Amino acid sequence: APGIAEALLATAMGLVAAIPAVVIYNVFARSIAGYRQILADASAGVERLVSRDLDFRTVAPATPLAAE
């Protein structure tokens, strides 16, 4: 059964390489998700400020002209 032993060895070596890779991938994915949330919060704040500024510009009454 040398073929089975070789297959088991190849499987074990593959797992030794794959398990740390998956762990590292998950760490980076979680880190990126955190930065993504921070960026989404910041962009929502900017959008809110711009929207409020545009609302003030459209709602603000025009200054009356002086009577001539």
Predicted pLDDT of residue 56 = 78
- The boundaries of the domain holding residue 40 are 18-48
Predicted pLDDT of residue 28 = 97
- Tokens encoding 12: 């074990």
**What is the per-residue pLDDT across 43-66, written as a single tens digit (0 to 9) for each?**
999 999 998 888 777 765 656 666
Predicted pLDDT of residue 53 = 84
Q: Is residue 37 part of a domain?
A: yes
Q: Which parts of the chain are beta strand (E)? A: none
> How far is residue 24's CA from residue 53's CA, in Å, rounded to a whole number?
44
Predicted pLDDT of residue 63 = 66
Q: Is residue 9 part of a domain?
A: no
**What is the per-residue pLDDT across 4-44, written as a single tens digit (0 to 9) for each?**
999 999 999 999 999 999 999 999 999 999 999 999 999 99
Q: Is residue 27 part of a domain?
A: yes
